[in-house]
Amino acid sequence: MTVQPAQPGAQPPEGRVVLDARDIARALTRIAHEILERNKGAGELVLLGIPSRGVPLARRIASRIRDVEGVEVPVGALDVTMYRDDLRRHPARSPQPTDVPPGGVDGRTVVLVDDVLYSGRTVRSALDALNDLGRPDVVRLAVLVDRGHRELPIRADHVGKNLPSARTERVMVRLDELDDVEGVWIS
């Protein structure tokens, strides 16, 4: 299975392709349908992507929901940088913008969207950041890839691909919007 770069010069990472662009599209369509089924429609729904790759994934899911329901679901970005518990060990993180859609999160069903679920620490940080924004009615988690190895009692509600992996392996998600190449690789 090969993945073609979206633009000349964009090189895919080294490793084995796990998902190509069509696989990602199918996974996101399935996730969008699962979100709609679980929420019984698009009412009171907000998607918050965790930068960097969770944001374009959230936008893509919202687009699929619009195609199915004919409703624009609010999409935002939730930066978790200052809520991480590893800042002392990795202080060079650059904060990304947090963008809360109009109407906020109070009383809404918020779906956090991220690319890879690994230890669960990013999601824990996102829950802390979300707590500072308001009080959602329900918080759910959608991820493109769940690779296991949880360190915290966190699980995804919607998963594109379960990918058992060794701790020594790297899972790399690349999206056209940010990387000019599309796919998921493991090395």
- The sign one gets for the Cα dihedral 38, 44, 45, 48 is negative
Residue 30 falls inside a structural domain: yes
What is the H or E stretch that residue 162 is in?
strand 158-162
pLDDT at residue number 170: 96
Residue 7 falls inside a structural domain: no
Residue 142 falls inside a structural domain: yes
Mind listing the pLDDT tens digit for each residue in 72-127?
999 999 999 999 887 677 666 688 889 999 999 999 999 999 999 999 999 999 99
Residue 69 falls inside a structural domain: yes
Residue 137 falls inside a structural domain: yes
Range of the domain at 23: 16-85+96-186
pLDDT at residue number 11: 81
Residue 37 belongs to a domain with what CATH number? 3.40.50.2020
Strand partners, 77: 49, 99
Whether the pLDDT of residue 2 is over 60: the answer is no
Report the candidate in 65, 64, 169, 173 with the shortest Cα–Cα distance to residue 114: 173
Whether the pLDDT of residue 4 is over 70: the answer is no
Q: Is the model more confident about 5 or about 128?
A: 128
Mind listing the pLDDT tens digit for each residue in 15-61?
999 999 999 999 999 999 999 999 999 999 999 999 999 999 999 99
pLDDT at residue number 9: 55
Residue 91 falls inside a structural domain: no
Residues 28/47, Cβ–Cβ less than 8 Å: no
Residue 9 falls inside a structural domain: no
Residue 102 falls inside a structural domain: yes
Place of tokens 């058992």: 164
Strand partners, 162: 146
- Give the total number of structural domains in the chain: 1
